[in-house]
């Protein structure tokens, strides 16, 4: 018999994680709005990606957490899920914090190149080109572990996965157009999201 506990514990872990995420991002979001941009991609594809990702990582799980829907997808919540989910969430938040520190002024929600954009290749960017996306994948994974509801749990992986695969190729092309061989060399010695693997 697995030791089960109330799904409320999973919901609380999810809420703490999301609040932590907002606290980390807030100052960067404010600064980002104030910095001048040279190039900006907010076409329909970017808009769609951001919408699907927000739905899967935010809106669908929030409906589950606050309204308990959809009920048909509920399953029992084990204590191992609570422990593993909290650990993955913690790791995601740490990595998210680090990526914001390392990217600094070069960060933005959509694909943009700033007037004084610098290519960051240090810190968590040393071995992986998209550590912030790694952090989002970890968040989506934590959501799947910590919410005992198939629909709300998996929505994050589907939502963020859509954004990731629609965006990552464009982002790398934009960076290569802007930084040329400097970025192409950087691509040769780094992985996309998992050090040494992908
Ligand atoms: N893909 C990165 C960054 C996400 S934020 C990650 O997952 O960590 C998106 C913005 O970051 C893009 O608009 C791009 O201009 C910028 N960016 C991406 N990689 C960068 C790098 N290595 N150095 C500087 N800016 C970068």
pLDDT tens digits along 132-190: 999 999 999 999 999 999 999 999 999 999 999 999 999 999 999 999 999 999 999 99
Sort 162 into a burial class: Cβ within 10 Å, 0-12 / 13-18 / 19+: middle
The alpha carbon of 86 and the centre of ligand 1 are apart by a number of angstroms equal to 27
- Nearest alpha carbon, ligand 1 atom 22: 120
What is the reported pLDDT for 38? 79
- 86 located within any domain: yes
- For residue 61, give its domain range: 4-28+37-188
Per-residue pLDDT reduced to its tens digit, 78-128: 999 999 999 999 999 999 999 999 999 899 988 888 888 999 999 999 999
The alpha carbon of 105 and the centre of ligand 1 are apart by a number of angstroms equal to 10
Report which of residues 91 and 40 the model is more confident about. 91
Residue 190, Cβ neighbours under 10 Å: how many? 17
Structure tokens at 26: 């807030």
126/70 Cα distance (integer angstroms): 42
- 165 located within any domain: yes
The tally of domains found in the chain comes to: 1
- 57 located within any domain: yes
Which residue of 35, 37, 103 sits with most ligand 1 atoms within 8 Å of its CB, as the best mutation to test the pocket?
Answer: 103
What is the reported pLDDT for 2? 65
- Do strands 77-78 and 4-5 pair parallel, antiparallel, or not at all (unpaired)? antiparallel
- 96 located within any domain: yes
Terminal Cα-to-Cα distance of the chain (whole angstroms)? 37
198/194 Cα distance (integer angstroms): 5
Structure tokens at 160: 């963020």
What is the reported pLDDT for 13? 98
- 198 located within any domain: no
- 85 located within any domain: yes
CATH of residue 146: 1.20.120.1630
- 194 located within any domain: no
- 196 located within any domain: no
């Amino acid at each position: 018999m697995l030791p089960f506990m109330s799904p409320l514990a999973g919901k609380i872990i999810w809420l703490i994680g999301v609040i932590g995420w907002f606290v980390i991002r807030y100052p960067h979001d404010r600064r980002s709005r104030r910095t001048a941009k040279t190039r900006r991609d907010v076409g329909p594809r970017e808009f769609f990606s951001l919408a699907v990702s927000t739905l899967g990582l935010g809106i669908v799980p929030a409906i589950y957490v606050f309204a308990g829907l959809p009920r048909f997808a509920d399953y029992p919540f084990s204590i191992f899920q609570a422990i593993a989910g909290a650990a993955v969430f913690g790791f995601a938040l740490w990595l998210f914090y680090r990526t914001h520190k390392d990217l600094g002024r070069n960060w933005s929600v959509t694909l943009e190149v700033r007037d004084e954009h610098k290519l960051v290749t240090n810190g968590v960017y040393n071995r992986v080109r998209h550590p912030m996306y790694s952090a989002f994948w970890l968040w989506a994974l934590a959501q799947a572990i910590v919410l005992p509801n198939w629909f709300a749990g998996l929505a994050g992986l589907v939502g963020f996965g859509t954004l990731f695969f629609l965006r990552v190729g464009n982002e790398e092309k934009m960076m290569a157009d802007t930084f040329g061989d400097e970025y192409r060399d950087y691509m040769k010695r780094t992985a996309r999201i998992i050090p040494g693997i992908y």
